[in-house]
Amino acid sequence: MNIQTPPGKTQIVPNDLSSFWMPFTANRQFKQDPRLFVSARDMHYTTPDGRQVLDGTAGLWCVNAGHARPRIVEAVQQQIATLDFAPTFNMGHPIAFELANRLAAMAPEGINRVFFTNSGSESVDTALKIALAYQRAVGRGERVRLIGRERGYHGVGFGGMSVGGIASNRKAFGTMLPGVDHIRHTHDLARNAFSKGQPEHGVEFADDLERVIALHDAATIAAVIVEPIAGSTGVLIPPKGYLQRLRQICDKHGILLIFDEVITGFGRLGSNFAADHFGVTPDIITTAKGLTNGSIPMGAVFVKDAIYEAFMQGPPEAIEFFHGYTYSAHPVACAASLATLDTYQEEDLFARCASLAPYWRDALHNGLKDCPHVIDVRNEGLIGAIELDPIKGEPTKRAFKAFTDAFKAGLLIRTTGDIIALSPPLIISKSQIDELVDTLRKVLLTAG
């Protein structure tokens, strides 16, 4: 492949973009006007022409400790030179067990078992399989239905896509898993626009689960899966009391509750998990992203002890769960994760997130609520969203223009539909929050 070095620049950029079929991207549009990063450190990316871009999204909600953190870089380098790979099917390596123990100690009480995967999508499919197999193991094999939520995002595997509730992610891909239904989403701008933190209205949206249960009969339902905060669909913060009520309904009917914490886990809300932040303990938690600070692909599914124990029946030489990935607990990912947890701990980054959250909230609301076309600003922890009024007949266009304008102005944001989502690394400073909001304000003020 030919590469070119722009005159006077040390970085190289590819001059042929044709072969890489880019994920979740308008490939033809991108390749006409590409946006590239060639390096990153702490709060900034660098472009091939040497521009610094403030990371307002922690990459893709994953680089919670900021980029190229020395401990993580060193741990990965050392691990790959020491034990590059070891199977975890009927074999083991020490740091897989060490990491699982460290993670269990971080999880809510009663959740002490960890199954490793390589992504959020794999974590979700693993969690759904655990839920189904658990029900069978405890003699309730007729509980085969899975319930998701409209506007939910649970990755792109067939399981996650089926319980997910984003039409564009589903419509081209056939009939999905059978036996899946969805409860309604919680977005209610008419009552909750410009809420600071959790919206006041909408606890009753949880009762939609009773409707679905009445329709299918609780005795056929294995599990309900929701994101505590729906991230990818535009940052939908749960109304006050909503998650508590979902928990109560699941308990009443013997249904497992799965929190998909791929975004909310590892400090994003100022605590280990959203479960801690909102004070609601699910039965299973799915994670990825911040688990390794985005450095090496890895996911983890956290499971209540009682669920694990239900599998540990029968002859001890029998495999209890016919599931796993070649790269489950990959040594380099384990090393990256241990170093990530050390970094979070040493720098007390989750507490830092919690203490910055009020500043973040005020900066977003005060700085952006009066910009043109803004119909909502919302926040929780170090997550924010600005919802724009779509251009008539051209949904997504307004937000996408803001995205490209922000990139030109030195800021990485993320958009979904006409919603701008923000989730900076937890190391962001107050002056960088100001810079982020000022840049976005200028972008929105000049947008059409």
Contact residues for ligand PLP, defined by CB under 6 A: 119-121, 124, 153-155, 227, 231-232, 260, 262-263, 288
Report the residue number, 149 or 365, with the smaller CB distance to ligand PLP: 149
- Token pair for 178: 């059978």
Helix locations, 108-171, DSSP H: 120-137, 158-163, 167-170
CB of 170 to ligand PLP, least distance (A): 15
Helix (H, G, I), strand (E, B) or coil at 68: coil
Report the residue number, 119 or 192, with the smaller CB distance to ligand PLP: 119
Report the residue number, 155 or 165, with the smaller CB distance to ligand PLP: 155
Report the residue number, 260 or 405, with the smaller CB distance to ligand PLP: 260
Q: Are 41 and 50 in contact (CB under 8 A)?
A: no
Report the residue number, 181 or 261, with the smaller CB distance to ligand PLP: 261
Q: Give the angle 100-237-435 at the CA atoms, nearest 5°.
A: 90
Report the residue number, 262 or 427, with the smaller CB distance to ligand PLP: 262
Task: List b or e across 79-114, with b for residues whose CB sees 16 or more CB atoms inside 10 angstroms.
Answer: beeeeeeeebeeeebebbeebbebbeebbbeebbbb
AA letter at 271 = S
CB of 153 to ligand PLP, least distance (A): 5
* Residue whose Cβ sits closest to ligand PLP: 120
CA distances to 375, 380, 412, 432 from 446, rounded to whole Å, are 17, 27, 17, 21
CB of 62 to ligand PLP, least distance (A): 8
Q: Are 334 and 97 in contact (CB under 8 A)?
A: no
CB of 226 to ligand PLP, least distance (A): 9
- C-alpha atoms less than 13 angstroms from C-alpha of 214 in its C-beta half-sphere: 5
CB of 115 to ligand PLP, least distance (A): 15
CB of 51 to ligand PLP, least distance (A): 26
